[in-house]
Amino acid sequence: MSADDDRRIVRRAALRVGTLVASASAVAIAVGVGILIAVLVAQARTEGGGRRGPGAGTGGPGTGGAGGGDRFVVDLDDVLPWVVGLGLVGVVVLGLVGWAAARWSVRPLDEALRRQRAFVSDASHELRTPLTALTSRIQIVQRRLQRGERADEPLEQLRRDAQIMDDVLADMLLTAEGERHTGIARVDDSVRAASDALASLAEDAGVRLRHGELTSETVAVPAVTVVRMCAALLDNAIGHAPAGSEVTITADVDALEVIVRVQDRGDGIRDEDLPRIFERFARGAESGRRRGFGLGLALVREAATRYDGSVVVERTSPAGTVFALRLPRVR
C-alpha cells in the first residue's frame, strides 16, 4: 500500500468521523429540544381573558386586557429539573459520540500498526533461516580456506543464498502492499531450491534431507513463494526431527492440484497443539535446537490461501508427522 493510499484512507476516515459527529449531535439536540417543548406544553397553564363574553366590547370585563388573548405561563420550579436533566443527558450522549468517533478515527492507524508489526515479525522470521544458512556456509568456506582447499562450490552456494534472501524480501514487500503476485513455478525446481537452501542447517542438526518422487508439473504460484513455503515446511521438519533421522519431501499431482508432502521422524504433534498449529506465535514443545517463534507454519498457510491452496497436517503420531501443501495446477 502506497503513501497516497494511506492518505486517502485517513481522509475517508476523517470524513466519516466528521459526518458521524455532526449527525449524532444534530439528532441529540433535536431530540432534546423536542422533549423540552413537550414538557413546556404539558406544564403550561393559561392566564388571561379566556373567551370573550356575549356582547362584551373591546376592553370590557372578561377580556383579560387589550386584544383579549390568553397567556401561557410555566412555573420555573416544574421545568428547571427537566432542563438540567436534559442538559446532563446531552453531555453524556455527546461524550459517547466523541468516544465512538475517536475509536473510529484511530482505526486506520491501528490497522497500519498491525500491518507494520506483522511485516516486521514475518520478515524477521523469513530472513532468519537464510541468514543461519549463510553463517553455516561462511564457516565452511573459512575451514576450507584454512586447509588450503578450493571454496568455489560453497561460494556459489553463498551467492544463491543471498539471491534467495533478496527474492524473499522483495516478495514480502509486495505482499505487505496487498498485492497478489502473478507467476508460475515448476514444483521440482522449487523443492530442490528449498532443499539446497536448508542443506547446511540439516547437516548441522544431523538430519538427512531426502527427495522422493518429484513431479515436474507447474503451479499457479510465483516460484519465490513456492520456495518460501517448501523451505518453511522443511525448516519446521528439521527442527523436530531427531539427529540421525531423515526428512523426506515428495511432490505428486492429482486432477486439480499438486501436493507437496514433508515428512519427519519426530515425536509427532500433541493433540492439544493440533487446533492452533497454524496460528501465529503458536509453538509446540521445544526440540532443544534453535528457538522457533511460531510463525513459519502460519506464513505457509497465509501464502497458500492467498493462491487458493491449502496446507494441513495429513497425519501425525509418535513415529513422525506429514504436512501436505496443496497448490493449484496450471492447466
Comparing 325 with 88, the larger pLDDT belongs to 325
> What domains can you pick out in the chain, each with its CATH number?
3-45+71-105 (no CATH), 113-328 (3.30.565.10)
- Predicted pLDDT of residue 52: 43
Mean pLDDT for the chain overall = 78
d(CA 23, CA 179): 36
Exposed / middle / buried, residue 197 (Cβ in 10 Å: 0-12, 13-18, 19+) = buried
Out of 104-108, 136-140, 159-163, least confident range: 104-108
For 200, the 3-state DSSP assignment is helix
- The region of weakest confidence among 69-83, 128-142, 287-301 is 287-301
pLDDT tens for each residue of 185-219? 999 999 998 898 888 888 888 999 999 999 999 99
Report which of residues 176 and 75 the model is more confident about.
75
In terms of average pLDDT, the best of 151-165, 192-206, 256-270 is 256-270
Calpha distance 156→87 (Å, rounded): 78
**46 pLDDT more than 80:** no
- Average pLDDT (52-69) is 47
Q: In the chain, what is the greatest distance between 2 CA atoms, to the nearest angstrom?
A: 135
- The pLDDT of residue 198 is 85
**Range 124-129 average pLDDT:** 66
Q: Can you give the pLDDT at residue 104?
A: 73
Q: Determine what percent of the chain is predicted with pLDDT higher than 90.
A: 24
Q: What is the pLDDT of residue 126?
A: 63
Q: Which residue has the higher pLDDT, 181 or 238?
A: 238
Quick one: pLDDT at residue 3? 59
Does residue 54 carry a pLDDT above 60? no
pLDDT of residue 290: 47
| Under 8 Å between Cβ of 278 and 298 | yes
- Looking at the predicted structure, is the pLDDT value of residue 283 above 60? no
Q: Assess whether pLDDT exceeds 80 at residue 145.
A: yes
Give the per-residue SS3 of 99-141. Answer: HHHHHHHCHHHHHHHHHHHHHHHHHHHHHHHHHHHHHHHHHHH
| Per-residue confidence (pLDDT) for residue 66, from 0 to 100 | 47
pLDDT computed for residue 2 by the predictor: 55
* pLDDT band, residue 323 (cuts 50/70/90): very high
Q: Which of residues 15 and 188 earns the better pLDDT score? A: 188
Does residue 291 have a pLDDT over 60? no
| pLDDT higher at 56 or 15 | 15
